[in-house]
Amino acid sequence: MTLPSLLQQSIAFLEPYEFSPTVLLVCLGAAVLYQRGWRRAGGGRGQALMFWIGLVAMYAVLQTQFEYYAQHSFFMHRLQHLVLHHVAPFLIAVSAPAAILGAGLPTIVHRHVVTPMRRNRLLRFLYAAIQEPLVSGAIFVGLIYFWLIPSVHFYAMLNVPLYNTMNWGVAIEGLLFWWMIFNMRAPGNTDMRHYGYRLMVLFLVMLPQIALGAYIALSDHDLFGIYAACGRILPITPLMDQAIGGLLTWVPAAMMSVVGGLVLVYRWNTQSRGAETPLPPTLRCAR
């Protein structure tokens, strides 16, 4: 294969399989706000790198030819959701982008949108409810189980609105869950903010993912026949496709809890030694 043809194929792979203006606008909007906030407030380079990797990864699995493979291979679908639900939200949340994104918002948006939302009692109550660690963890795991019910998965892969709901749902819930894990200023009781409580939640969400992944990987029959109906794109057997998809649900997804736990332990240890440095005033959201 010549270099020009390889380059041409690489460019073709980056083209959207099914263009979504919503995905483009959301990712582009987040990128513009972050860049604008970065210029105004500054921040750590490591923070910025994690944010950009997370945002680009989320866009890549939804708006390139990767989406085609995800619709025609079970394990590629699980890889897509691993990025949408675990890896990309983890990177974005651990980068603590709220202050920078807030600094990127126009003053009029802060005054007429953000401030009224913060003062709305119903919104504050709902946010506090879904950010309660055990509730957030239950929703996080529940979505994985729900979309992998064979009958639900079958219809989701055939119905475009339902398919989009599935992808948006796991991405948004992933962001909410990992934000809850790393945000020590979440609303609620002081005990709910404790590092140990979040470590317990990370352990609890790991167990059902291991169980589900093992069940799928070790199953001796095809659980997701929709991929045979749509036509599998990769030259592997249905059981091999399913086994790899189960392993992705079993090992990497569960390991994200371990990585998240290590980050929390590091921060907890840093805080307990009195080495935690508060954010400079320029990184605090405008009020």
Predicted confidence pLDDT, tens digits, the chain (287 residues): 676 667 777 788 888 888 999 999 999 999 999 999 998 887 788 999 999 999 999 999 999 999 999 999 999 999 999 999 999 999 999 998 988 998 888 888 888 888 888 889 999 999 989 999 999 999 999 999 999 999 999 999 999 999 999 999 999 999 999 999 998 765 444 444 588 999 999 999 999 999 999 999 999 999 998 998 878 888 899 999 999 999 999 999 989 999 999 999 998 888 877 644 554 554 444 43
Task: Look up residue 159 and give its DSSP letter.
Answer: -
Token reading at 125: 């109550």
* Within-domain flag for 70: yes
| Dihedral sign computed on CA atoms, order 186, 192, 198, 199 | positive
* Within-domain flag for 93: yes
- Give, in order, the Cα–Cα distances in Å from 167 to each of 85, 99, 199, 235: 9, 27, 27, 25
**What residues make up the domain containing 79?**
20-274
Number of structural domains in the chain: 1
* Within-domain flag for 248: yes
This prediction has a pTM of 0.88
The string of DSSP letters for 76-98 reads: HHHHHHHIIIIIHHHHHHHT--H
* Within-domain flag for 12: no
* Within-domain flag for 256: yes
The separation between the first and the last C-alpha atoms of the chain, rounded to the nearest angstrom, is 57
* Within-domain flag for 286: no
Contacts of 241 (CB under 8 A, 6+ apart): 73, 74, 75, 227, 232, 234
* Within-domain flag for 177: yes
* Within-domain flag for 279: no
Return the exposure string of 222-245: e unless at least 16 CB atoms fall within 10 Å of the residue's CB, then b.
Answer: bbbebbeeeebeeeeebeebbbbb
